[in-house]
Amino acid sequence: MSDILIRRALIADGTGTPPFEGDILVEGAIIRQIGKLDTAGAKKIIDARGLVVAPGFIDMHCHADFSLPVLPTADSLVHQGITTAVIGQCGLSPAPLPDQKRDEVIAGLSGILSELEAEIPWHEWSSFGEYLSFLTRLGISINVVSLVGQGTIRASVMGFKAGRSTPEQMALMQREAIKALKEGAFGLSTGLIYPPGSYASTDELIELTRVVAREGGLYFSHIRGESETLLDAVAEAIQIGRETKAPVQVSHFKAAGRENWSKSKEALGLIERACDEGVDIATDMYPYTAGSTMLVAVLPEWAQEGGKEVILGRLSDPSACLKMTQDMREMGFARSVEWDRVLITGSPRHTEYRGRYVSELAYEAGQTAQEWVFAALLETELQIHMAIFAMSEDNRRQEVKHPVMTFCTDGMGFSAKGKSDRTLTHPRSYGAFPRILSHYVREERLLSLEEAVHKMTGMAAKRLGLKDRGLIKPGLAADLVIFDPERVKDKASYENPHQYAEGILEVIVNGKSVVHDGTHTGSRSGIVLSRT
């Protein structure tokens, strides 16, 4: 007897064609049959009348590699219908950690996870393959597609110092990248606003990516600028793709800062023209007008050089702070920041900052915004996170429809049942995919249901080269999500983000129910996916 029979469902199969009514039979981890299966039986029968069944959603940009070792059930992700996440993003992967730079790399990754960081079992791995093996031994509730971070590789060879790599250092970095791909990485990621990735020249990135492309790997990039330098940053990503032949994914696309909103259309135009010229390039986005990262990212690039202790030294130096203030007002990431739109989402050392804007905190302290930022970073030892309301909703409405746009959370897996005094985090970790279905499909009618599901599933799977999932088709993996199209909705907010979405009733990962009747079952049926 089969394991699961889903009856009378409206099937959105991930191809982009209109949904159709039918039954789905699951045996083991595989979809066995689709159609009118009146005589079929199964151990578990799900009546899906009035509900949509879609392939499990694919999160194209996720940082769950830093949360899965602590929370392998990835609750906030699976509760929004995600069954596969692309991890190792922004150039910052948990591995490799070679002995000679191990402590320095781990210290440099400090601040990525905030409230769960102290619990990461770094001792469990050194190589990239050992990290993936650890996830397999642990058991996880979602599938993962893994990338190796260029920033982590560079730090493991060169530390957190600026400057060009020597031929010997480049050879070591290439060796680490190839080793990670052979151990399971699907490709390379960069985070070109974060040290040490920001220190790499375009030529260095091309040289490293070229060996990744020869191994059949992908190139994912948090590009070098998403505000005033957006067009140059997109052009750099295109150049890397053109010269290396690697498929390029521009991560979490945005035009940040009011004065840069007009650049969204221009940047998408650059991507379109590159596609027409034969460059294999696409992009993804999360459906919010605020981004989120560490507060230290607002400092000038030179001020982030050298690692944590060196940065803290600069923050203690009045002359360095004066130069940082001037540079932040004239150039770089901070130039377009509106401080009354920068929300502090949390800091373990100063929980009273949580939920407040930099402008008001600075006013109360009798400081400029820059002075408050320097003092707060110093007091918290850089352990402070923010959300920046910097994007235009009008742009988001256009971006969500773009033909090469897929979707992501840029988040992690959290549990809503955590301690009361906790980091606010960005609501995208709980609500990104339901928000697409509720806001942009049901309310705004910018996408049809089948278009949205296609972008979340079949289109994303094809982009990643996943031939065994992303569609509802006999013989493919039984990654499925059942939701109520009239009730699905994100509940997470900036003020109260730790809330699961509504209307996601059943999530099946490799044939096992991970969410049943809206409740996590505890199943850890996810796997580390292989590059084939």
pLDDT at position 301: 86
Both tokens assigned to 65: 């590699």
Taking a C-beta distance cutoff of 8 angstroms, is the pair 51, 518 a contact?
no
Per residue in 293-327, pLDDT (tens digit) is 889 999 998 999 888 889 999 999 999 999 999 99
Low-confidence ranges of the chain (pLDDT < 70): 1, 111-115, 419-422, 532
Predicted confidence at residue 305, as pLDDT, reads 84
Summarize pLDDT for 360-407 with one digit per residue, the tens. Answer: 999 999 999 999 999 999 999 998 989 999 999 999 999 999 999 999
pLDDT of residue 270: 98
pLDDT (0 to 100) of residue 307: 81
d(CA 507, CA 517): 9
Set out the domains of the chain in order of their start, with CATH numbers: 2-55+475-486+501-520 (2.30.40.10), 57-289+391-464 (3.20.20.140), 294-388 (no CATH)
Model pLDDT, residue 86: 98
Instruction: Give me the pLDDT at residue 114, please.
Output: 59
Count of other CB atoms within 10 angstroms of residue 49: 9
pLDDT at 422: 66
360-368: which pairs have CB atoms within 8 A and are 24 or more residues apart? 368/325
Which amino acid is located at 363 in the chain? Y
pLDDT of residue 435: 98
pLDDT value of residue 419? 63
pLDDT of residue 421: 55
The encoded tokens of residue 312 equal: 């803290």
- Judge contact between 198 and 233, C-beta under 8 A: no
Please report where in the chains the tokens 């005094």 appear, as a residue.
421
Entry field: residues in the chain: 532
